[in-house]
Amino acid sequence: LLHHPHRQVWVDPGHLGGLCIWLGSIVLLAKCVNLCVTLWVFCIPHVIAMSAMAFGNWAQHIFVNPKDRHNNFALTYNCIETPVNQTTFNDGYHIIHHLNARLHWSEIPQYFYDNKEKFEKSGSLTFRGVHFFDVGIMVMTKNLRGLAEHYVHLGPKETAPTIDQVVEKLQGWLKPVPAEELGKKAK
């Protein structure tokens, strides 16, 4: 980002240059080689991959506690015991990624279990058996009750919330942060 004293400009010259080179290459390949091949080999996979990655990133950060939005425990959630973690270098433990991005992926599950009490005390969200795409789809289809059934309470059984209480928490974390709060820094 270029920083301006009064506003942010969302154009990075390095990215803009790379985009121009990519677009120029696409036009050159389309004209000089073959339009159909260029579309199927470069353009369509690019659009699909970028859309999937954007959806995944949005889904990873869809739940934000508006009352504690600067706390890493309240910016995302963990997905445990899902086969997708085995193919994504344990990306489902996303709170841990926010806490310590340098932690080796093979050490992440143990870190989670060793620090379960911190996750419980912070009120963070953990789901079992679903991954980010599943969570994103459930939120988009307004199936918060179905998602709440995957919620993992990390504390004692007698303090476990009801499904309705989990749905209420999820709804609260889906609300936008009030505009007057956006400019405030973390305490």
pLDDT mean over 76-81: 97
- Please, which residues have CB within 8 angstroms of residue 158's CB and are 6 or more apart in sequence? none
Q: What is the mean pLDDT of the chain?
A: 92
Cα–Cα distance, 151 to 74 (Å, whole number):
15
Contact status, residue 136 vs residue 52, Cβ threshold 8 Å: no
Contact status, residue 92 vs residue 80, Cβ threshold 8 Å: yes
Which three-class secondary structure state does DSSP give residue 106?
Answer: helix
- Res. 171: pLDDT tops 70: yes
- Res. 94: pLDDT tops 90: yes
Backbone angles phi, psi at 161, to 5 degrees: -75, 160
Task: Read off the pLDDT band of 1 (50, 70, 90).
Answer: very low
Contact status, residue 82 vs residue 131, Cβ threshold 8 Å: yes
pLDDT mean over 87-110: 96
Pick the residue with more confidence: 16 or 95? 95
pLDDT mean over 11-34: 91
Residue with tokens 């679903």: 130
Q: Which of 177, 171, 165 is nearest to 67 (CA)?
A: 177
pLDDT mean over 48-63: 97
Specify the long-range contacts of residues 83-86, CB closer than 8 Å, at least 24 apart. 84/131, 84/133, 85/109, 85/131
| Full DSSP string of 21-76 | HHHHHHHHHHHHT-HHHHIIIIIHHHHHHHHHHHHHHHHHT----TTSTTSGGGS-
